[in-house]
Structure 1
Amino acid sequence: MALTRPPLDPELRALLADLPLVPELNREVLPQIRQFSSMPVEPLLEGRAIDRREVSIAGADGADIPLSVFSPAGQDHTAPAPCVYWMHGGGMVMGDRFSQLDIPLEWLDLFGAVVVSVDYRLAPEATGTSLVDDCYLGLLWVAGHADELGVDPGRIIVAGVSAGGGLTAGIALLARDRGGPPLAAQVLICPILDHHNDTTSSRQYAGEPGVWTREMNEFGWRSVLGDLADDAVPAHVSPATAGDLSGLPDTYVDAGTAEVFRDEAVTYATRVWAAGGQAELHVWAGGCHGFDALYPQALISAQARRARTDWLARVLTPRPQTAGRAGR
């Protein structure tokens, strides 16, 4: 029997009524869905003063990893900018580097940030650690070319939505564990964090069509992991399984109450606090999965984006040094 679900935000419910929902996600329908999982980037750039550059770097196995670099037009390289390194959503099986790009482009507009978006390979064609490894190599490229990009290496933010949120958490773990680039912050938007797929919220959103269901999530994870044994799944692939969440950059996590990943997001933030880290958590009442990417015009979406932007403004503002206590 299906569990009772938190109600959807009324405005989102009305908008979702016109969204054709996929009843099932499998290898047969995936090619059809992929055609609609991204929009052209040109309309997003229209009217914006942005310089665009396309780069390709080599993956660990020699595969090409495309990166798109978006910079404020006429960027002054004498004043290094913050950088947002972006990982798109799509359940690990669809989407490309232009998916949900309107979110980080808002930060380019507001903060003069350089945005670099990575086209990591997708499952089931790529499996195991391939997706997160692609993302990490892109991060290394960004850090290694900071001067060329006009980027402040001390203000690199990693961010992503859905699958990209999970990959963001994964490369933050890799950067910590491998002594990789220092990160100013990580932004996890309705992130996919746990391959076990057995939380209460996951079970609540099973058994009927939705934006992203437990069954779709199972297909995504199975596509990435294949027959890999549960205890062999690396923590940077399934970040919820990491035994230690200490030493991570300042973290922003958000999700909706009416989605599969609600409980994963709450647990992750709670564990960051328990490890002595700093995390800000927002769980938006009535939010479905990816609500502000799907419907940025909705009131709840505007509130979610504003909260995220306000947090980033605090992170990016230089902090005064705390004076030592008297007598020390």
Structure 2
Amino acid sequence: MSSEAMRPAPPFDRELMPLLASGQLTSTVDVAQMVAARPPADTSAVDELLAARGLVREDRRAPGLGSDPDVTVSVIRKRSHVPGGPGIYFAHGGGMVTGNRFNGIDRFLDWVELFDAVAVTVEYRRAPEHPDPAPLNDCYAGLIWTAAKAAELGFDPGKLVTAGLSAGGCLIAGAGLLARDRGGPAAAAQVLICPMLDDRNETVSSRQIQGIGVWDRASNAAGWTALLGDRRGTDRVSVYSAPARATDLSGLPPTYIDCGSAEVFRDEAVAFATGIWAAGGSAELHVWAGGFHGFDGFAPDAAISVAARNGRVDFLRRTLGAAPAEPRKN
């Protein structure tokens, strides 16, 4: 074992450690486990959650790219929505294999309430049945549709925010590069939450997180291999499919990136922010000390999670020039 592989991992936040010790979370998962963990098609629980918050959902179909099939998206807004606020285009996590368009929506429901935003969450095809570039194509197709439908959906086209969680962060970053290079929709901001950006899996942080935390080095290799097959780690991988490979990060919208210090994706998130700065762009980076992958979803009431969620809201307020409404009363 190399000296790099033997480096100790940063300590976990003390509020998060009991959750890790409880055995409720799994460090290493393979593709079969990810497929088995795919959520059921029943959306009743989602609709109950939305109704309790005064929100409504509408499913729509966006045309696929070229000969690709249409893409399902869900539009979520306040029941009392007033047109003219921001739009949120969201891609869920799941290692490119699991999850659906409702996974991780807790990350943006507060934004819908606080800013009277309209959110669109995309149901992209998943690996291994649908390898690269299917998920990316679906995400980009949904972005094109969302931007084109701004007036109909009731949001300001100049305040479109793209946001992605984990694997969705990869797809949002890739779609942003595609939009830049193809003259596609221009976002006012992008928010990348613990983004999965680098198929090579060779950073220091990827070597530190092995058999501990959430989504370790082996899980990461499994997810990327499901997406890319034998191309993973080779020079046959596009910068749009693995945005960490991009050497030119100019021309991107103001970008918010956050992650935990004790997760595989730490170093690639830091490198992506650094690349934006090096190209003269605007990036805000938060590395939350002691955070494991997706910590604010697993432990939303922990102090570190509250701070992370508040940081995203503050970024949106400053970037969009929007004054948030009063917080929802629990």
Q: TM-score, normalised by structure 2?
A: 0.91
Aligned AA for 1:214? R
* 8 A contact 1:240–1:268 mirrored in 2: yes
Letter in 2 for 1:236: Y
Give 2:61's match in structure 1, choosing from 51, 56, 63: 56
- For the residue of structure 2 that corresponds to 1:267, the secondary structure is helix
In the alignment, the residues of structure 1 paired with residue 40 and residue 94 of structure 2 have an alpha-carbon distance, to the nearest angstrom, of 11
Give the secondary-structure state (helix, strand or coil) at the position aligned to 2:231: coil
Q: CA deviation at 1:210?
A: 3.4
The aligned counterpart of 1:106 is 110
Structure 2: distance between partners of 1:304 and 1:44: 22
SS in 1 for 2:16: helix
**1:245 counterpart letter in structure 2:** L
Give the drift of 1:182.
1.1
Structure 1 residue 147 displacement after superposition: 0.9
SS of the counterpart of 1:69? Answer: strand
Q: Bigger CA drift: 44-53 or 98-107? A: 44-53
- The answer to whether structure 1 residue 76 and structure 2 residue 82 are counterparts is yes
Q: Distance in 1 between matches of 2:32 and 2:193?
A: 28
In the alignment, is the contact (CA less than 8 A) between 2:47 and 2:57 conserved in 1?
Answer: no
* In 2, Cα distance between equivalents of 1:109 and 1:135: 24
Q: Corresponding residue for 1:219?
A: 222
Where do residues 16-55 of structure 1 align in structure 2 (5 Å cutoff)? 16-22=20-26, 24-35=28-39, 40-55=45-60
CA distance in structure 2 between the aligned counterparts of 1:246 and 1:25, rounded to whole angstroms: 35
Any idea what SS the aligned residue of 1:232 has?
Answer: coil
1:305, CA displacement in angstroms?
0.5
**What letter is aligned with 1:211?**
V
Q: CA RMSD in A?
A: 2.0
Give the % identical residues. Answer: 50
Q: What is the Cα deviation at residue 17 of structure 1?
A: 2.1
1:299 aligned onto 2:295: no
Contact 1:37 1:95 in 2 (8 A): no
Measured in 1, the distance between the counterparts of 2:38 and 2:116 equals 32
What is the alpha-carbon distance in structure 2 between the residues aligned to residue 64 and residue 289 of structure 1? 31
Match in the other structure for 1:151: 155
Q: 1:311 to 1:38 in 2, by over 3 A?
A: farther
> What's the offset of the Cα at 1:48?
1.7
Report the Cα distance in structure 2 between the residues aligned to 1:118 and 1:233, rounded to whole angstroms. Answer: 23
The CA deviation at 1:247 is: 0.5
Q: How many residues align?
A: 316
Q: CA deviation at 1:50?
A: 1.7
Please show how residues 227-266 of structure 1 align to structure 2 within 5 Å. 227-228=230-231, 230-266=234-270
Correspondence for 2:123 = 119
Q: 1:29, CA displacement in angstroms?
A: 2.7
Say if 1:37 and 1:94, in contact at 8 Å, map to a contact too: no
Which secondary structure does the structure 2 equivalent of 1:276 belong to?
coil
Deviations 1:67-99 (A, max 9, x none): 00011223233xx12101011111111000000
Alpha-carbon separation, structure 2, partners of 1:154 and 1:82: 8
User: For 2:304 and 2:153, how far apart are their aligned partners in 1?
Assistant: 34
Of stretches 298-307 and 18-27 in structure 1, the one that deviates more from structure 2 is 18-27
Query: Are 1:10 and 2:14 an aligned pair?
Result: yes
SS of the aligned residue for 1:136 comes to: helix
Q: Give the aligned partner of residue 322 of structure 1.
A: none
Alpha carbons 1:257, 1:286 under 8 Å: kept? yes
Worse-matched range after superposition: 41-50 or 220-229: 41-50
Gaps of 5+ in 1: 319-328
